[in-house]
Amino acid sequence: MKYVENIAEAFEQAARVNADKDAIIEARSGRSITFAALNRRANTYVKYFKGEGLCPGDIVILMVRPSIEFICLTLALFKIGTPIVLIDPGMGFKNLLRCIERVEAKYLIGIPKALLFSKMFPKAFASVKKRFCCGNSFYLFGPNINNIEDTPDSMVDVYTPLEDDLAAIIFTTGSTGPPKGVRYEHSVFSAQLHLIQSYYHIGEKDVDQPAFPLFALFATALGACAVIPDMDPTKPAQVDPAKFVKSILENQVTYSFGSPAIWRVVSRYCLANTIVLPTLHKVLMAGAPVPYDLLKNMVAILPEDGEVFTPYGATESLPIASINHREIIAETMELTRQGRGTCVGRSLPGIDIRIIELSDGVIEDIGECRFVENGRIGEIIVCGGVVTKSYMNNEKETRLAKISDGNRFWHRMGDVGYLDDKKRLWFCGRRAHRVVSGTDTYFSIPCEAIVNEHPDVYRSALVAVTDKTGEILPALVLEPVRDFKGSKDRLLAEVRALADTSPLTKCIRHYLIHNDFPVDIRHNAKIFREKLSVWAQEKLYH
């Protein structure tokens, strides 16, 4: 077992070089903190928490809003070696409680509202031995740790982790089942940090505006300033574009990472107000396929040398492949519109991507896999430094998602796709979302692309229904554009005619209209097709 880098150690190195430079800026409050002050504050928390009994390996739930305090606390816990649990409150009430109970955390650090929540549901928080209040609760939940005075001697020892030492537990969105807690070892964070630095060329001269709070930690560890936007990260589609754009312009942001839902709102706002973002040279969009019209909008609001990247991955392995907007527009987008899937690019350095025959069961060893030739759709598996090894306290899901290969593991992405002759990966949807009808298999992304070409269709979803004889059939559910005022019967007829022109969809006979698709909270783009399938079944065969 070997020692690996702790991101907190990388941050300390960045802080020494950039001591007087702003590390974090809060767009909402206007507060800022330098690298030196951020490091000093994190070290103050380290000494405080150690005095309160926190030790390496103790699991801590962190329920604090995106802020300077959030980054300070995260750095402090990394320095101690206590794994942090990050849970998206937008995952739903039942899922939230289930996730909290499963991680068996020893400590809870949270805002007063979070601590009150923990008292209201003691069963889920039964493992928690001590709580710390981050905010003023009028001593209802003890002292406000934000009021701890910085210690003059700010030096602390940073925990040196072994490669299997746990750094964090991050939960999946739950788009194809209950959210799962992904075990992030320190080695995974370190591999992610170096990929972001080397592939996307992020460094000390950059200013980041991350829509995902944890990405501010990566920015500061690379010596870049991070601007925390004035938005609710659990509701990306509800971002206020004026505020988001204002902080980009005022802070001369050079790159930003967020879901397509954010950039759709922001780009429309910029186009409507003739705004160009002159300093924004890199935009990374992930979490869902990026439509062609969004890419065109982004090109129009970025400087001439600006680039849009669409990295591909999952909570369990991110990033593993990437492509920029120029290659998409020049080579792959037209094929996507014809139902060939979404090209997500080539594998990143050190990442190995393979395609195997589809299977819904456990695959214990890589020797059991049957690899398929280029151009043929199969299941995507991946291996590399950013690939996590297991889920927290969930052996069943770990066995379903991991494949042993000697002293390393492959992760089954749960996605289907293929590799082309240029070694580019094409995404064709989730494995669980394919519809097997008789001898035919329908894949979600290719089929949906055909009907999405209709100008009145905002998006669509391939779902399975069962007829009265028990036969499984494919159905396409359509969500019209927001301002659609036409005849629904006419829209259905026109979409059927369009579908009949493609061999991918010509045999699909069921089409329905749903005005508001259920989608995930984190990205506001992953369609809950399982819910739509139940809805479609009731509509067609109730």
pLDDT for 27-56, tens place per residue?
999 999 999 999 999 999 999 999 999 999
Does the CA dihedral 476-477-479-485 come out positive or negative?
A: positive
Structural domain count, the chain? 3
Give the range of the structural domain holding residue 348, as residue numbers without chain letter.
310-429
Spatial CA neighbour of 2 closest among 385, 542, 415: 385
Residue 371 lies in a domain: yes
Place of tokens 């350095």: 349
Residue 523 has pLDDT above 80, yes or no: no
pTM: 0.94
**Per-residue pLDDT tens for 417-467?**
999 999 999 999 999 999 999 999 999 999 999 999 999 999 999 999 999
Q: Tokens in use for 228?
A: 């925390």
Residue 233 lies in a domain: no
Give the model's confidence band at 524: pLDDT under 50 very low, under 70 low, under 90 confident, else very high: low
> What's the CATH number where 70 sits?
3.40.50.12780
pLDDT (mean) for 100-121 = 95
Shared-domain flag, residues 445 and 390:
no
| Helices (runs of H) and strands (runs of E) counted in the chain | 16, 26
Shared-domain flag, residues 467 and 364:
no
CA distance 34 to 542: 62
Give the model's confidence band at 1: pLDDT under 50 very low, under 70 low, under 90 confident, else very high: confident
Residue 250 lies in a domain: no
Shared-domain flag, residues 36 and 171:
yes
Task: Let me know: does 36 contact 240? Beta carbons within 8 Å.
Answer: no
pLDDT (mean) for 2-17 = 96
Shared-domain flag, residues 439 and 408:
no
The two beta strands, 60-63 and 402-405, are: unpaired
Give the mean pLDDT of the chain: 94
Last residue of a domain, one of 162, 186, 210: 186
Residue 9 lies in a domain: no
In this structure, the number of other CB atoms found within 10 A of the CB of residue 202 comes to 22
Give the model's confidence band at 397: pLDDT under 50 very low, under 70 low, under 90 confident, else very high: very high
- The string of DSSP letters for 409-431 reads EEEEEEEEEEE-TTS-EEEEEEG
Residue 87 has pLDDT above 90, yes or no: no
Under DSSP, is residue 22 helix (H, G, I), strand (E, B) or coil?
strand
Residue 258 lies in a domain: no
Residue 141 lies in a domain: yes
> What's the CATH number where 497 sits?
3.30.300.30
Residue 320 has pLDDT above 70, yes or no: yes
Shared-domain flag, residues 389 and 438:
no
Query: Which phi and psi angles does 541 have, rounded to 5°?
Result: -130, 20
Under DSSP, is residue 217 helix (H, G, I), strand (E, B) or coil?
helix
Shared-domain flag, residues 38 and 113:
yes
Residue 519 carries which DSSP code? B
Shared-domain flag, residues 421 and 493:
no
Under DSSP, is residue 74 helix (H, G, I), strand (E, B) or coil?
helix
Shared-domain flag, residues 66 and 168:
yes
Shared-domain flag, residues 170 and 48:
yes
**Residue 51 corresponds to which amino acid?**
G
pLDDT (mean) for 212-221 = 92
Last residue of a domain, one of 186, 202, 232: 186
Task: Flag the least confident range among 151-155, 337-341, 485-489.
Answer: 151-155
- How far CA 65 is from CA of 88, 134, 214, 231, 256, in Å, comes to 11, 10, 11, 11, 19
Residue 4 lies in a domain: no
- The string of DSSP letters for 127-190 reads T--EEEE-S--TTBTB-BGGGPPPPS----PPP--BTT-EEEEEE---TTSS--EEEEEHHHHH
Last residue of a domain, one of 407, 429, 451: 429
Shared-domain flag, residues 176 and 317:
no
**Residue 403 corresponds to which amino acid?**
I
> What's the CATH number where 362 sits?
2.30.38.10
SS (H, E, C) 525-540: CCECHHHHHHHHHHHH
CA distance 313 to 385: 13
- The string of DSSP letters for 275-343 reads ---TT--EEEE-SSPPPHHHHHHHHHHS-TT-EEE--EEETTEEEEEE-BHHHIIIIIHHHHHTTS-EE
Shared-domain flag, residues 315 and 336:
yes
pLDDT at 521: 66
Cβ burial 436-457 (10 Å sphere, 16+ → b, else e): eeeeeebbbbbbbbbbbebebb
Give the model's confidence band at 73: pLDDT under 50 very low, under 70 low, under 90 confident, else very high: very high
**Per-residue pLDDT tens for 141-182?**
999 999 999 877 678 999 999 989 999 999 987 666 788 999
Residue 242 lies in a domain: no
Shared-domain flag, residues 409 and 442:
no
